[in-house]
Amino acid sequence: MLDFIKNTFSSVLGTLIALFFLGFMAFLSLILIAQALHDPEPQIPEKALLVVDLSLSINDKPPTASIDQVIEEAILASHMERVGLRNLLNSIEFAKNDERIKGIFLHGNLQSVNFGSGYAAIREVRAALEGFKKSGKPIYAYILNAMPRDYYLMSVADKVAMNPFGEVFFNGLGIEMMFYANALEKWGIGVQPVRAGKFKSGIEPFVQDHMSEEHRLQVTEMIQKLWDSMAEAVSESKEIPIGQLNAAANRDRSFRAEQALETGLVDELVYFDEVLGHLKEITGDDPDERTVTQVDLGDYMKANREKGSSRSENKVAVVYVEGIIVGGEGQYDQAGAKKIARRLRDVRLDDSVKAVVLRVNSPGGSAQASEIIQREVRLLRGSKPVVASMGYVAASGGYWVSTYADRIFAQPNTITGSIGVFGIIFNVQEIAQDFGLNWDYATTHDFAGSWTITRPQTEGEMAQLRDTTEWYYARFLQKVAESRDLEIEYLDSVAQGRIWMGHEALKVGLIDEIGGLEDAISEAVEMAGLESDYRVVDFPRAHQLEEVIQALLEDRELDVSFDPARRISRRVEIELEWLKAFDDPRGIYLLPDIQFQLF
């Protein structure tokens, strides 16, 4: 009787679980199908203004999402927060020649998700807007409050308007770094670091409470060069002498509306309702109309996603390495070595792919993970042209994965180099003892269990960690020397963990060309001899409904694009994201000295 009850209960429970799963799948399918059906192809009106709300993150790669994000976004129908750089550039180029588009309206404040909206990407967008202006169509920008990168981008407009109670913060650049050493000591968490390279200061936040003088020197030089390039562009666009612009930036913490107008940063002070009148003049709308004829960026991109693209069988693949490099698949905002290596292997074995652009926007991460990716780049280079395109940052591990490309492109304000290595080991012995927890050990050999975090490393173990760190540094130098045809001695003099801006990296031989993503694609096309017979394919690709459902059934993360993505995390969460990078099984890392907030 007991067995009968058990079997009956098991059958009923199994049936309920199956029904729940089928019901959930049906519910999810209905949501996704309803969303697809509810979202018809946008119609672009005649004589329209392309409205670009900059309150988004301009990321190198198309936005990606995990299954739980897909469900969340489908249910909440949240607005676009991320946009792929190439998609944005293509949209601006398409709008330049689209007779329906009479001008562009810029407003809002840039966001940053996973190294998005970096200065290199903004430089490319600004150049695309400059190209748009050559069509004779106007660009109108409206500022409420603008941070340096917001104003740098908006200053390209033919007319920059500002709210009479707004502010412009275009008064230099600064950085701030979070240091964990005192907190770790207070919490009883031990830290034992080693490093190779006198400028390799990525471990500083964990072992001290301030910047070293070497690190302060290099980051000060970095932000000075960033500012110089921005100020030069603004000076040219707004016809303000560079000396006058720098003097004005030194006077006050910000430019209030009247000061911005007097300095020449803005052209007029108006409220938003007055802005509409100016915009109607661009589109030719009746002044008495309630609003202006317009199309927002998201709809415009959606309406034109298939237009102008070639149907050629010859493909140029753009493979993105964005985020901290970690082992395995990684999270949606990380560059998982297994995932990136799989993409590179797929394009290598795909005969229709004639050339590859490796777009890198990463500060590096795990040394082993970086090597896994680099191995695939080396194999790929043996079969078809590979061009590396560096975004905002391609340093340390980001440089490690790039160095074997046939050609390397970077923007003048790209952060690159940082050829150096550090090792770091944490232990929780003290904090555990505070809670009455202790460990004891029994081992067969002297170094057994040396990777435990329950005790500090011994002198012998630390000596071996130093040896391993020096070994990785030597291999780093050897790889770059081989791939870049440089002498080891010379390379060591420009390495040492030092970060370089793109134009400096060109002088010291770490890159080949100054240029953006589109320049790198053009170079790959030329190297493959494709002329005009090609099409560009992104990896990750745009999503398809059946792929979303299939990914759910297989319980895996989507390797496809899904827009929009989640809201940006809070500042402290962003800072603590760095801790996720420390997953290398050997404790060896290729991370640069840029764990700071630029403001």
Structure token pair of residue 439: 């460990």
Task: Give 13's Cβ-side CA count (13 Å radius).
Answer: 6
d(CA 362, CA 321): 7
Considering 200, 238, 280, 479, which one is annotated as catalytic? 200
d(CA 588, CA 599): 30
Residue located via tokens 């970077």: 410
d(CA 251, CA 261): 15
Phi, psi of 506 (to 5 degrees): -65, -40
Considering 396, 402, 483, 561, which one is annotated as catalytic? 396
* C-alpha to C-alpha distances, 94 to 120, 136, 236, 574, nearest whole angstrom: 21, 14, 26, 35
Instruction: Dump the DSSP string for 417-465.
Output: E---EEEEEEE-HHHHHHTT-------SSTTTTTT-SSSPPPHHHHHHH
- Return all residues near 369 (Cβ < 8 A) that are at least 6 apart: 325, 326, 327, 335, 336, 337, 397, 584
Instruction: Determine the residue type at 369.
Output: A
Tell me the pairing of strands 139-146 and 101-107.
parallel
Angle (CA) 325-326-330 rounded to 5° is 110
Neighbours of 417 (CB within 10 A): 30
Structure token pair of residue 33: 């199908």
**310 part of the active site:** no
Burial-class residue 563 by CB neighbours within 10 Å (0-12, 13-18, 19+).
buried
- Return all residues near 448 (Cβ < 8 A) that are at least 6 apart: none
Neighbours of 491 (CB within 10 A): 20
Nearest CA-CA partner of 594 in 197, 225, 178, 208: 178
Residue located via tokens 């140029």: 316
- Return all residues near 18 (Cβ < 8 A) that are at least 6 apart: none
**396 part of the active site:** yes
For helices 545-553 and 2-38, the axis angle rounded to 10 degrees is 160
- Return all residues near 436 (Cβ < 8 A) that are at least 6 apart: none
d(CA 292, CA 161): 17
Beta bridge partners of 410: 514
Nearest CA-CA partner of 172 in 265, 263, 253: 253
CA 363: distance to chain centroid? 10
Tell me the pairing of strands 159-168 and 268-269.
parallel
Rg (CA), the chain: 26
Active site residues: 200, 396
